[in-house]
Amino acid sequence: MVLVMIKILIVEDEPNMRMGLRDNLEFEGYEVDLASDGEEGVEKAITEKYNLILLDVMLPKVSGFEICKQVRAKGIKTPIILITAKGEEIDKVLGLELGADDYVTKPFSLRELLARIKAVLRRGTNEVEQDEDATIGLLNVNFKTYSAFVDGNSVQMSHKEYEILKYLWQNKNSTVSRDNLLNDIWGYDENPTTRTVDNFILKLRQKIEIDSNHPKIILTVHGIGYKLITS
């Protein structure tokens, strides 16, 4: 099960390093956002939503440690991997104490970095926790307790319907293709068709939309798939 659109913020002041990391991570299928100094880094880390932050320690304006501290002080639990330089052993400990999840030491191989990113993402269920409870208009869903209400009235949904809704919620306001849904919800071993996806969406709409003929939550993106709209 691979979630689409894993978004990583890279905070790194050295242009070559920044661009190199971006190219490599994009090649691996991650969506990448960049910040070139500490000030921009802290701003983005606090205002945008990421699955992971790759944070250089030695940065102009605001250090990586300071960013770590500020981000955690705001209650943001996004996993952070620190990039430290050789010989900064004490810094590593300090970084972890300040709320970083892991670190890599320059120079590091791409392979090592990717392994750490994957491990931290696997561990980091924070994103999921933040997304446990969804309120969209009159709809309120809790993906942990599997309960859903429309205008205060309980709605019965199947496990698969919860999974689809959760997937759309995690990718809210972005278009999710039928193929994304097929691969990530049904997996490769089952044999559903895009028609199966459409039928499930139809049933889901009948349960969560006020008027399923004029959906306001799950919109059709013609020829591609669906988009869950939160406002």
Q: By the criterion CB under 5 A, which residues form the site for Ca ion?
A: 13, 56, 58
Least Cβ distance, residue 19 to Ca ion (angstroms): 14
- Cβ at position 95, least distance to Ca ion in Å: 14
The least distance separating Ca ion from the CB of residue 88, rounded to whole angstroms, comes to 11
Q: What is the number of other CB atoms lying within 10 angstroms of the CB of residue 151?
A: 10
Cβ distance to Ca ion smaller for residue 63 or 183: 63
Instruction: Compare residues 56 and 101 and give the one whose CB is closer to Ca ion.
Output: 56
User: Smallest distance, Å, CB 65 to Ca ion?
Assistant: 12
CB-based closest residue to Ca ion: 58
Q: Which is nearer to Ca ion, 11 or 201 (CB)?
A: 11
Residue with tokens 């939160």: 230
Q: Which residue type occupies 51?
A: N
**Contact at 8 Å (CB) between 104 and 112?**
yes
Which of 13, 184 has the CB closer to Ca ion?
A: 13
Q: Do 54 and 9 contact (CB within 8 A), yes or no?
A: yes
Which strands form 7-11's sheet, in the order they lie side by side?
31-35, 7-11, 52-56, 80-85, 102-106
